[in-house]
Structure 1
Amino acid sequence: MSDLSLDKLLKKAENKLQNVHEMVQEKSYELIRQAYKESIFVVITEGFRSIEQQHKLYSQGRTTPGSIVTNAKGGYSYHNYGLAFDIALLDNNGEVDWTIDRRWNKAGEIGKRIGLEWGGDWKSLKDYPHFQYTFGLSLSELRSGKSSEKQTEKASRVLIKY
């Protein structure tokens, strides 16, 4: 059996969350902690994604081999602005388990309870691993240069509630 300690899960997350907004990092750690209390083992699989990486992901299943995994072109994902992260769930042996079951729904509920938007609620191409915190900014605002930094103070007052 692998070591599924909370500390190990949080430590693993740190590497994946570089270039992710500080508040989004805090919310991801909180998701890991809350899920752990429910015996749901969350690992962060991806945080910030460059626009080039996003283009490459978007082409998958369209112009390159593989399944379609995103509807977002480069610049059209909150990952590109450090405001999103993806997760996977581990089974009791520490292996990634992509089976969509009650644990995924519970992780989604926890994420929403701490103020995140969950891709599992999306109408087209449900994205169970995806969570984002947008500070109320649209993708077009972000593409035009609006910064989430201006929203941080307002959002931190919201975070204090949790």
Structure 2
Amino acid sequence: MKKINKDILTWVIIILFFTLIIIAYNQVNNKYTDFGEDAALPAELHPIVEEKKDILLKKASKIGITVIITEKVRSIKQQNELYRQGRVKEGDVVTHAKGGESYHNYGLAFDYALENQEGELIWDIHYDGNNNDKSDWFEVADLAKDMGFTWGGDWHHFKDYPHLQMDFGLSIRQLKNGLRPKAK
């Protein structure tokens, strides 16, 4: 009988030990903060996205490409207005995301354009302003992807060439439910 109690106690200690290790590991490696469904939407880009955006602009500049950020964080209202474009408002459809369904709403995305030497914004995805026989849009996208961004030009259902985002492994559903990536 004492042997059985000793064996049970040994297993309980082993299980507790591994449970504590798992809890400690998750605390150290937890990349997300859960604010719940009523989490406030950010007014600025996530700090990591902002930092990598700035690095991207410098890298592009070094290869003769001037990138202009045209849009960062959008409110739900702004996103809904964009969604109406091409549907109930004049213009082309520019998004398939309603308010709350865009990574822009969570500070995890931005849009860009190129600027030529005359200071004009360029939206032509074939533009080669640095004259290296490569599309500047695709050069910027490649730099961004190497830095961990997802590029809207790679999407199959809707090509969004100006769009770059970092989702940190979070779905829109998770973001809507208040989960946010930690700053660092």
Range into which the TM-score falls when normalised by the shorter chain: 0.7 to 0.9
Residue 122 of structure 2 aligns to a residue in which SS? coil
Residue 82 of structure 2 corresponds to which residue in structure 1?
57
Deviations 1:113-137 (A, max 9, x none): 1111111111122111100011111
Are residue 132 (structure 1) and residue 157 (structure 2) matched?
no
- Moved beyond 3 Å, runs of 4+: none
Residue 109 of structure 1 corresponds to which residue in structure 2?
142
Greater gyration radius: 2
Cα distance in 2 between the residues matched to 1:87 and 1:97: 10
Query: Which ranges in structure 1 are unaligned for 5 or more consecutive residues?
Result: 1-17, 154-162
Tell me the CA shift for residue 86 of structure 1.
Answer: 0.4
TM-score where L is the length of structure 2: 0.71
Are residue 35 (structure 1) and residue 60 (structure 2) matched?
yes
Deviations 1:79-103 (A, max 9, x none): 0000000001001111101111110
TM-score where L is the length of structure 1: 0.80
Residue 15 of structure 1 corresponds to which residue in structure 2?
none
Cα distance in 2 between the residues matched to 1:93 and 1:65: 30
Tell me the CA shift for residue 65 of structure 1.
Answer: 1.0
Percentage of identical aligned residues: 49
Equivalenced residue count is 134
Which residue type is aligned with residue 27 of structure 1?
A: K
Are residue 85 (structure 1) and residue 110 (structure 2) matched?
yes
Higher relative contact order (CA 8 A, sep 6+): 2
Q: How much is the aligned-residue C-alpha RMSD, in angstroms?
A: 1.0
Which residue type is aligned with residue 104 of structure 1?
A: W
Cα distance in 2 between the residues matched to 1:40 and 1:106: 9
Tell me the CA shift for residue 24 of structure 1.
Answer: 0.5
Residue 151 of structure 2 corresponds to which residue in structure 1?
118
